[in-house]
Structure 1
């Protein structure tokens, strides 16, 4: 996700609200709650509490995207493209949130929002997709980082396959995002794979554009 100055306070309120609801995020982000313990915590929480958390997350995220949505020069609706620029405040904040405590918190939230699902089947589906194309990407249609990555592929003539998580039926997109987060250690999109290996997002992890700039992307595509 990406934020500007106006969205960041809302995001902080969202994080504080969720922390208060779950009452365990501090232990999780400090590493006191392991991935093996997490399912027990979630199963120990009453269903109405999880539903309340998920509902709050969906509403806050929808409000955030809707309030900041614009139409870009290609007619696509979503958050402003300038947010995806390397030196933007939104990109800097996203990179900070991508690792360490930021990742752990976002993964915890992603697991709650995903709810109960067939993790083995989801993993198999992800593997089939990322190995099925030289370049594969998971995306959100409204995400400026995702649109910038697509623009790069199209402008350079690199063929790619994409799955838009926000267009999948039911809660499938959230299940994929939670599973991806545990395997790649990042819950943000885009999540880009080259020959089955995750290269991160648009600007980070190491990222599509940094790899392209250094010449490493061309080498990965040749290998």
Structure 2
């Protein structure tokens, strides 16, 4: 029986194998954040001479990349990102994702938005029929904390401040429990439209292009249900 760490290592290597054909001397790779992304960074760094560099979605990932000697570019200086690789806290069969357990959701969403492909890397425990068992992270401007919390309660959620945590953008996180997310794109738009919200952790309006999922019998490739 493979441990969760072994499952993560397997899918990280599978993601490297997936992106290798895309690499070239002028290629910039988008990199997410989190424990599985860390393993992807470690595996990708072995090929750092085969691509120009990366754009990163968190200070944590930037430090890890630079520790491996991988170039990290400011997104403002990059015009093309063929692929973005990141994990998820939950993913459904439409490849809609719930992300932000590590607090980097806004930068993750920004970098993902410029990539031609979003490759989500997960282990099989993250695949769900309906998202919401994992509390939905919402990044909020500090002065709007209670205003946003009231609106989230009105949507049926139970927001709780992530104590002692500040995002790389200087904002706070409200983790919203108690949601059963049957229409993730609609909820994403609704939450994002609350004044004071920077963004929420739903990646549903723009879902993953493909998911690589690590299972006990190997890594499988998932595409949105119906395709």
Higher helix share: 1
Greater RCO (CA < 8 Å, at least 6 residues apart): 2
Higher strand share: 2
Decide: shared fold, TM above 0.5.
Answer: no
Q: What is the TM-score of this pair, normalised by structure 2?
A: 0.26
Q: What is the TM-score of this pair, normalised by structure 1?
A: 0.26
